[in-house]
């Protein structure tokens, strides 16, 4: 009778989870070597859930039982670590795969990303605007983003000496160092000719320097290290999961938009062409910063109120991408329409 009762107890507990021994065997069937000690280390590091400790009754001791899907969780973790041994990247990849990762572990990873943000971005912009180092970086970025086709077109309209001036002015403007284009000068005439525009330049380039500095300053203030830390500290488990879901949807929408524009014509890609195609479910150094930025952006009222619209548009953008990919005959008339919009 006692033996039957013991087997019944063990049967009920097995239904409530999976034992370390069963996890080790499951990993072995996938060609992976996992020990009970390794399971303990991973759970202490927040990479897998803590097991439930249950008494066996009548002085028989205790047994540990992990959640039922922990074996697959361990297999996914081993596959990630085979690609990249950095535990933080593996932890975030597991999180985006839908496996439970302790919130404290995720927050510690995001804190590191916030400190990295301060180091890398803090010397480019500050509370008063773009620093000289930031302006130099923007110079380089603007120059690298110049596409061959419009640059070649401008070169055909300008002599070599004037073309060099034209490029210099473009970089000058891109870095926020706006000269007075409202006056008729030789440089403004070169820029007009290079861009292929006339009187429209007067209003098109009318940017208020103080307003621009104020905007950059407000962004720098909102994204400072202390503000990022506060967002991380105040974000709970539910908010983390919502941020993850929203980021996946919004980023996929951007990728679909990028694909649509590249199918139509790369010059209409609106800056999306350089966006990397990130696989959030694999180890990637970009993921911690991406998640941190999105978590912080969604605390801004103007962003938060538009998140439902972004989510709602995801299906339509995906459908458009599939439509263009499967019906290439649509590309020509849509390119023509896009060209009309660009010149209107």
Task: For residue 342, name the pLDDT band (cuts at 50, 70, 90).
Answer: very low
DSSP state of 129: E
Angle of helix 160-174 relative to helix 186-195, nearest 10 degrees? 90
Rounded Cα gap, residues 251 and 276, in angstroms: 10
Is the domain of 243 the same as that of 336? yes
Q: Which of 129, 319, 125 is nearest to 225 (CA)?
A: 125
Q: Is residue 281 part of a domain?
A: yes
The pLDDT value given to residue 2: 40
Q: What pLDDT score was predicted for residue 264? A: 77
Q: For 290-300, how does the pLDDT look when each residue is reduced to its tens digit (9 = 90+)?
A: 999 999 999 98
Helix 237-264 to helix 87-97 angle (10° resolution) is 80
pLDDT tier for residue 331 given thresholds of 50, 70 and 90: confident
Q: How many helices (H) and strands (E) does the chain have?
A: 18, 4
Supply the mean pLDDT for the chain: 77
Q: Is residue 76 part of a domain?
A: yes
Residue 54 lies in a domain: yes
User: What is the distance between the alpha carbons of residues 47 and 63, in angstroms, rounded to a whole number?
Assistant: 21
For 334, the domain range is 235-343
Burial 15-25 (b: 16+ CB within 10 A, else e): eebbbbebbbe
Q: Are residues 190 and 240 in the same domain?
A: no
Q: Does the residue 114 lie in any domain?
A: no
What distances in angstroms separate CA 266 from CA 66, 257, 260, 271, one per listed residue? 50, 12, 9, 9
| Same-domain pairing of 338 and 247 | yes
Q: Kindly indicate the confidence band of residue 242, based on its pLDDT and cuts at 50, 70 and 90.
A: very high
Domain identity same for 270 and 178: no
Indicate whether 222 pLDDT > 70.
yes
Q: Lowest mean pLDDT of 2-6, 114-118, 254-258, name the range.
A: 2-6
State pLDDT tens for residues 165-213. Answer: 666 666 655 555 555 544 556 666 665 666 555 444 444 444 455 665 5
Question: Within 206-286, where are the H helices?
Answer: 209-222, 225-234, 237-264
- The proportion of the chain whose per-residue pLDDT surpasses 70, expressed as a percent, equals 61
Residue 251's pLDDT band (boundaries 50, 70, 90)?
A: very high
Same domain flag for 11 and 69: yes
Residue 292 covered by a domain: yes
Residues 195 and 164 in one domain: yes
Find the mean pLDDT for residues 299-304: 86
Going by pLDDT thresholds of 50, 70 and 90, the confidence category of residue 11 is very low
Residues 245, 209, single domain; the answer is no
Could you tell me if 274 and 208 lie in one domain? no
Classify residue 25 by its DSSP letter: H
Q: Residue 59: its pLDDT value, please?
A: 62
Closest CA to 250 of 310, 312, 316, 322: 310
Answer with the one of 185, 215, 245 that is the final residue of a domain.
215
Residues 329 and 244 in one domain: yes
pTM score of the predicted model = 0.70
Report DSSP state, residue 52: E
Return the pLDDT at 276. 85
**27 found inside a domain:** yes
Residue 122: pLDDT band with limits 50, 70, 90: low
The verdict on 200 and 278 lying in the same domain is no
Residue where a domain terminates, one of 158, 181, 215? 215
The residue from 83, 113, 145 where one domain ends is 83
Beta bridge partners of 183: none
Number of compact structural domains in the chain: 3
* Maximum C-alpha span of the chain: 103
Residue 331 domain-assigned (yes or no): yes
Q: Which residue has the higher pLDDT, 281 or 54?
A: 281
259 and 178 belong to one structural domain: no
Predicted local distance difference test score (pLDDT) of residue 73: 96
pLDDT, position 330: 81
Tens digits of per-residue pLDDT, 70-87?
999 999 999 999 999 999
Q: What's the pLDDT score for residue 204?
A: 41
Is 230 among the domain residues?
Answer: no
């Amino acid at each position: 009778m006692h033996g039957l009762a013991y087997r019944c107890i063990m049967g009920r507990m097995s239904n409530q989870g999976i034992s370390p021994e069963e996890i080790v065997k499951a990993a072995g069937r996938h060609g992976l070597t996992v020990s009970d000690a390794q399971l303990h280390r991973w759970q202490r590091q927040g990479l897998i859930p803590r097991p439930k400790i249950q008494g066996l009754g009548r002085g028989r001791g205790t047994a540990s039982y992990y959640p039922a899907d922990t074996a697959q969780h361990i297999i996914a973790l081993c596959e990630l670590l085979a690609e990249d041994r950095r535990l933080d990247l593996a932890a975030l990849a597991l999180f985006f795969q839908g496996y439970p990762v302790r919130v404290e572990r995720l927050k510690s990873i995001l804190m590191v990303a916030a400190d990295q943000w301060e180091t890398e971005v803090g010397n480019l912009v500050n509370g008063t605007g773009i620093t000289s180092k930031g302006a130099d970086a923007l110079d380089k970025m603007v120059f690298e983003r110049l596409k061959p086709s419009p640059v070649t077109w401008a070169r055909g309209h300008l002599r070599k000496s004037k073309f060099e001036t034209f490029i210099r002015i473009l970089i000058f403007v891109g870095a926020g160092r706006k000269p007075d284009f409202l006056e008729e000068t030789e440089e403004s005439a070169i820029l007009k000719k290079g861009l292929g525009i006339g009187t429209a330049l007067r209003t098109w380039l009318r940017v208020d320097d103080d307003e621009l500095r104020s905007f950059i300053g407000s962004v720098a203030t909102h994204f400072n290290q202390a503000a990022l830390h506060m967002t991380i500290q105040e974000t709970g488990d539910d908010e983390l999961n919502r941020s993850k879901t929203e980021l996946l949807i919004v980023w996929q929408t951007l990728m679909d938009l990028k694909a649509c524009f590249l199918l139509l014509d790369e010059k209409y890609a609106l800056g999306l062409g350089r966006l990397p195609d990130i696989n959030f479910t694999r180890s990637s150094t970009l993921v911690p910063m991406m998640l941190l930025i999105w978590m912080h952006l969604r605390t801004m009222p103007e962003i938060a109120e538009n998140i439902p619209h972004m989510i709602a548009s995801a299906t339509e953008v995906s459908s458009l991408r599939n439509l263009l990919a499967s019906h290439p005959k649509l590309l020509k008339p849509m390119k023509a329409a896009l060209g009309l919009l660009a010149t209107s």
